[in-house]
Homo-oligomer: A and B are copies of this chain.
Amino acid sequence: MTDLQPSIERLVLIGIGLIGGSLARALKRVKAVDQVIGVARSRTSGDLALDLGVIDSFQSDAGEAVRGASVVVVATPLRSFPGLFQAIAENLPGDALITDVGSVKQYVIDAARRHLPGHLDRFVPGHPIAGTERSGIGASFAELFEQRHVVLTPLPENSDAAVRAISDMWNATGADVINMDPAYHDQILAATSHLPHVIAYSLVRCLAEHPQRDAMFEFAAGGFYDFTRIASSDPVMWRDICMTNREPILAAIDEFKSRLDDIIGAVKEDDGELLRQYFTDAKRARDSGLDGKKKK
């Protein structure tokens, strides 16, 4: 396998949190990278990343950091992308590859078209569908992407070599790489990931704002803990996802509210047969749809 590994000379990682840190760890583990330059606004995460050996050097200025880069990976909250793209556009080497790990793809592509027009042949947007409810460099681990999907949404402008190189990078982490249309990606993720997070946040706020708040948390049943685990995810990351994938998320919430209204209607009508049917269909879909799938 060794000679099939990509060899990235100088990886510039803009954003050293859970995803960025795990990517650096995974690539270092298989010796697919020589040098990782971490970029973050906070010196504290930089020092921690250095101490943990996840990065080899630290820079606070993205525009300076990308000089001499072989590959640039943007792994910050989505709404920082336009500013970062502007900041790196001038110094980004003409042969450097660039990718990102953003959970929304159309927004990222629009920003790249606006601010990185000279680099579109080498900008391959990506999204590893992996994560935990923890955030920050301290939560990163090399195995995060193993047997997980990484979606790439290549641009028509991309060179084959650029797409192949970014694909190889993710394969080296143990991930399974898939190409997809960006609008389709955003629609699927709105329903399978963004909607569940919006629901989890809303449910926890429901209980937290209840007059019997303490009893609510005290008597919360087992399923509730799992259910709200994702409400511990990073608020800034999720704010940015909601704001950059607006239409697909609003459509998914709307669809969900209709399904909720089905249940309200059946309860109000005292229609036990309909309720049993809804619950049986959901159980069957869930049991079969997820059967044998890897769970993280």
Using a CB–CB cutoff of 8 Å, the interface residues on chain A facing chain B are: 79, 129-133, 149, 151, 184, 187-189, 191-193, 195-210, 212-213, 215-233, 235-236, 238-240, 242-243, 246, 249-250, 252-253, 255-257, 259-260, 262-264, 266-268, 270, 272, 275-276, 278-283, 285-287, 289-290, 293, 295-296
Contact = CB atoms under 8 A, between A and B. Distances in A.
B267 A250 contact: yes
B289 A272 contact: no
A262 to B, nearest CB: 8
Contacts of A79: 272
Given A131-B221, A191-B216, A296-B222, A279 B208 contact: no
B282 A231 contact: yes
Nearest to A200: B227
Contact of A192 (B220, B250, B285): B220
A149 B282 contact: no
Contacts of A199: 199, 203, 227, 260
A56 B250 CA distance: 56
B188 A215 contact: yes
Given A192-B221, A224-B193, A285 B205 contact: yes
A259 B205 CA distance: 7
A232 B283 contact: yes
A231 B196 contact: no
A212 B186 CA distance: 13
Interface centre among A203, A243, A287 (most CB of B within 10 A): A203
Nearest to A201: B282
A100 B223 CA distance: 21
B188 A212 contact: yes
B129 A219 contact: yes
A189 B236 contact: no
Contacts of A225: 290, 293, 295-296
A260 B202 contact: yes
Contact of A267 (B149, B230, B242): B242
A206 B195 contact: yes
B210 A191 contact: yes
Contacts of A276: 235-236, 239
A280 B222 CA distance: 23
A216 to B, nearest CB: 6
A246 B265 CA distance: 11
A129 B243 CA distance: 38
Contacts of A286: 204, 208, 228, 231-232
Given A201-B282, A207-B285, A189 B230 contact: no
